[in-house]
Structure 1
Amino acid sequence: MIGVDIGSHSIKAVLLAKNGNTFKVEAVAVEPTPRGAVVDHEIQDIEPVGEALRRLVRRLPSKIKASAMAVAGSSVMTKVIFMDASLSDDEMMSQIEVEAENLIPHPLDEVNLDFERLRPHANDPSRVDVLLSAARSESVQARVSAMEIAGLDTHIMDIEAYALGRAVGTIAARQPELADAKLLGVLDIGARTTTLSIIEDGEVAYSREEAFGGEQLNQLIQSAYDMSADEAERVKLRGELPATAALEVLAPFQTELLQLLRRSLQLFYTSEGHDSLDGLVLTGGSAAIEGLADMLHEELGFPVLVADVFAGMKMGPDVNKRDMERHGPALAIASGLAMRSFS
């Protein structure tokens, strides 16, 4: 399946193959999202998003028509509940539907619902922990409809935090500093939102989103150097900022990001009884900003690495290496979705 990540700034696609435990990158493509068509993770205008997806699909192998996508934001709810371990999947679903009013903050006919058995309940072996996931049906259907315009079938609808956790889990396993991490943070710096997710023993245990992202940095660049929005994005991605940018634009952005991260971490520590992470991985379009990882490491005291999404993977002959290099950390969600092909 093609992993497709629809963001407010760009649409990313990754296609992987797998031989044993080794992944191979078959294709990567990135297409700008039409301005204003995606806001706060929600598709506001399906037609232009579908046309952008059609352009993106033209750069991928034509024989692949199956896709994996993800939802995120306020339309998504996840909750770990515990249920009788002896129940069948059908019986669990029936019981969840009966108790839906207490579990889901939306009418049952307005959501798409799924669940997964996780592990025996810690204090009662006759019970099992169950991950319940729900998303507004209109959010799911908008993505499916956009993909249909592009000629793709949606086989999987995941949740962004879990797709990201899947990708980062493979990244951490290849990094000596993170290989033994039990409590790993992922800071995904998108165009308009930044999300901190915590992976505990391989499972996403916590996720918090803030309305802050790379567009704030773009606005600082535009204001400081009298550039258009497109020019600001280009010089940021290519590392072509003026020599004075470190103090004039990067420092204010990094300071605000650090404050946001400290606040999110403190909320997690307080609620879950931890006092530090074993490491932090940066993903998203602004993750590779010069000096950001080093600054966060110095301030927080644990390893901070920019995601090398495709480290250790083989490369297919037709991979667009320019898109890979330019958008590297921003391809983590799409990569995690593509991995659903093998799970």
Structure 2
Amino acid sequence: MLSKLWQRQAPQMVGIDIGSHEIKAILLSKTADGYKIISHAAVPLKKGAINDHEIRDADAVVESLKLVKRALPSGAKLAAVAVSGSSVMTKVIYMDSLLSEEDMEEQIEIEADNLIPYSLDEVSIDFETLNVNSIDPTKVDVLLSACRTENIDARVELLHDVNLEAKVVDVEGYALGRSYEIVSSQLPEGVENKIVALVDIGANVTTFAVVENGETSFVREQTFGGEQFTQSILSFYGMSYDQAEKAKLEGDLPRNYMFEVLSPFQTQLLQQIKRTLQIYCTSSGKDKVDHILLSGGTSKLEGMASLLTHELDIHTIIADPFQGCLHADENVKKLLKPNISKYMVACGLALRSYSQWRT
């Protein structure tokens, strides 16, 4: 199914980030100087309900989504949700800038048929015009994306079960890249011409999005996250999973844990990030990225940002939308500020409400 070109302003949607450990949701309104949080929710998921990006226990996910729905305004009916980047095939193609909409769709179908190893009846296809081609100004760069329809339908049906309509199904990496809008002012002046890597460290997956000139140019996922840290605590100190998770969150760990558990985990995470940045540089021809913005529940581990700054020689900070252009009532801000960076993907999804819209 091919979407049409951008036509009108999008409706207001709740951004819902369905992770492997927790569901985060956020609803934003646009203000004169940014965006304001109208509503938010973070609800834990039953362990194993989502594994390797696949929904293994739909009933458990629905139960958590019901709690999310209760936290939202009664009038919130529309949502933007995302699928994992590993389930999406993407390719940048070059097309004549003077092509009509119908001709563009026909050419995209041909390109998709060559790219996708499945029948076109089994996939959903979308495309987005990016920029004028840097080599040939008579052409435009077009991002073609394709995903198995069953992966999309699974998330659409989950939302439908709690009376929410999925108006947009995005890709997690691109949603993360879009959230750069609300944190860009954290970085030094002149960042408009710099390359920024957003790194969202979740429970099981670390998502990367590289932004150049305001556009997301590279996305990737690595199966590594805070769950590995929990497992290290569990095995090293003989705790149960729940005890290890609680100790991690509350910082109630033995004095030597920094050397025994934290430092080895951070070294592993550093290697994951370094490897992905090398892949980006190789594929793009760039020497390095200029800044790194960390987000996600694991990003605030003690010393993580300074470790990356020192080891990679790249300016690294924790993303804090409240230091950017995200606003909230004081009570909401006080509640969310310690963990606001874990809402980056949800914010990126909610921002689809304020972009151009396809009919």
C-alpha contact (below 8 Å) 2:192/2:213 kept by paired residues: no
| Aligned CA distance change for structure 1 residues 317 and 94 (closer, same or farther; 3 Å) | same
- Out of 217, 222, 230, the residue aligned to residue 229 of structure 2 is 217
Does residue 328 of structure 1 match 2:340? Answer: yes
C-alpha contact (below 8 Å) 1:177/1:303 kept by paired residues: no
C-alpha contact (below 8 Å) 2:85/2:220 kept by paired residues: no
Q: State the shift of 1:306 in Å.
A: 0.9
Identity rate, percent: 46
What residue number does 1:37 align with? 49
Does residue 71 of structure 1 match 2:93? Answer: no
Taking the aligned partners of 1:178 and 1:111, their CA distance within structure 2 comes to 41
What residue number does 1:51 align with? 63
C-alpha contact (below 8 Å) 2:173/2:220 kept by paired residues: no
Taking the aligned partners of 2:188 and 2:314, their CA distance within structure 1 comes to 14
Structure 2 residues without counterparts, runs of 5 or longer: 1-12
Taking the aligned partners of 1:8 and 1:158, their CA distance within structure 2 comes to 17
Greater mean deviation of Cα atoms: 220-229 or 73-82: 220-229
Q: State the shift of 1:103 in Å.
A: 2.3
Secondary structure of the residue that 2:321 maps to in structure 1?
A: coil
The one-letter amino acid paired with 1:52 is: S
The one-letter amino acid paired with 1:149 is: D
The one-letter amino acid paired with 1:101 is: D
Secondary structure of the residue that 2:72 maps to in structure 1?
A: coil
- Out of 116, 120, 134, the residue aligned to residue 132 of structure 2 is 120
Secondary structure of the residue that 1:185 maps to in structure 2?
A: strand
Q: State the shift of 1:79 in Å.
A: 1.2
Q: State the shift of 1:317 in Å.
A: 6.7
Does residue 86 of structure 1 match 2:98? Answer: yes
Q: Deviations over 1:41-70 (max 9, x none)?
A: 222232221221011111121211111111
Greater mean deviation of Cα atoms: 170-179 or 86-95: 170-179
- Out of 16, 22, 30, the residue aligned to residue 4 of structure 1 is 16
Taking the aligned partners of 1:99 and 1:23, their CA distance within structure 2 comes to 38
What residue number does 2:332 align with? 319
| Aligned CA distance change for structure 1 residues 237 and 179 (closer, same or farther; 3 Å) | farther
What residue number does 2:314 align with? 302
Greater mean deviation of Cα atoms: 310-319 or 126-135: 310-319
What residue number does 2:263 align with? 251
Secondary structure of the residue that 1:143 maps to in structure 2?
A: helix
Taking the aligned partners of 2:166 and 2:190, their CA distance within structure 1 comes to 33
Greater mean deviation of Cα atoms: 21-30 or 307-316: 307-316
C-alpha contact (below 8 Å) 1:115/1:132 kept by paired residues: yes
Taking the aligned partners of 1:295 and 1:54, their CA distance within structure 2 comes to 39
Q: State the shift of 1:94 in Å.
A: 1.9
Q: Deviations over 1:244-283 (max 9, x none)?
A: 2211111000011111222222222222222221110111
Taking the aligned partners of 1:167 and 1:318, their CA distance within structure 2 comes to 23
- Out of 228, 231, 244, the residue aligned to residue 240 of structure 2 is 228
Taking the aligned partners of 1:70 and 1:285, their CA distance within structure 2 comes to 18
Taking the aligned partners of 1:105 and 1:283, their CA distance within structure 2 comes to 34
Secondary structure of the residue that 1:68 maps to in structure 2?
A: strand
Secondary structure of the residue that 1:62 maps to in structure 2?
A: coil
Q: How many pairs align?
A: 342
- Out of 262, 274, 286, the residue aligned to residue 298 of structure 2 is 286
Taking the aligned partners of 2:58 and 2:146, their CA distance within structure 1 comes to 22
Secondary structure of the residue that 1:310 maps to in structure 2?
A: helix
What residue number does 1:105 align with? 117
Q: State the shift of 1:197 in Å.
A: 2.2
Secondary structure of the residue that 1:277 maps to in structure 2?
A: coil
Taking the aligned partners of 2:267 and 2:77, their CA distance within structure 1 comes to 43
Taking the aligned partners of 1:16 and 1:318, their CA distance within structure 2 comes to 16
C-alpha contact (below 8 Å) 2:297/2:342 kept by paired residues: yes
Taking the aligned partners of 1:316 and 1:106, their CA distance within structure 2 comes to 48
Greater mean deviation of Cα atoms: 271-280 or 239-248: 239-248
Taking the aligned partners of 2:208 and 2:292, their CA distance within structure 1 comes to 10
**How do 1:150-169 and structure 2 match up within 5 A?**
150-169=162-181
Q: Deviations over 1:189-210 (max 9, x none)?
A: 1111122321111111122222
RMSD: 1.9
Taking the aligned partners of 1:263 and 1:52, their CA distance within structure 2 comes to 35
| Aligned CA distance change for structure 1 residues 111 and 122 (closer, same or farther; 3 Å) | same
